[in-house]
Amino acid sequence: MPDYVNYICSQFALTHVNFQRVPCVDTSNPFIAREIPAPDESFVVIRFANPKGIDFHYLLNMIHNSLMSRANTVVVPGGKMELAIQLIFTPFV
């Protein structure tokens, strides 16, 4: 746990776009939950460090069942993560 806190968590502050997959099934007991939750059993929280220039209206229209939870954060169904990645990063390439 110390490595996670000291090395992994500290990197989140340095990312331009952060994708966090959040399961919607009970994962509280790892001895019972033997399988990794499927994409359709999760949501993806996408946080933009600097949302200036991001067309959130376009993203929300293109990704069915998506929503904004904060001014710089979009939540999409887990099965739509690949589409979200394409829509967000294609303009930058």
Q: How far apart are CA 14 and CA 17, in angstroms?
A: 9
As a whole number of angstroms, the distance between CA 72 and CA 15 comes to 13
Look over the chain and give the mean of its residue pLDDT values, rounded to a whole number.
91
* Per-position DSSP letters for 22-58, written without gaps between them: EESS--S-TTT--SPPPGGGEEEEEEESS-TT--HHH
The pLDDT of residue 58 is 96
Model confidence pLDDT, tens digit, residues 58-86:
999 999 999 999 999 999 999 999 999 99
- Which is more confident, 31 or 54? 54
| pLDDT 10s digits, 1-23 | 788 888 888 888 889 999 999 99
Q: Which residues are bridge partners to 47 per DSSP?
A: 18, 73
- pLDDT at residue 43 greater than cutoff 80: yes
pTM of structure: 0.85
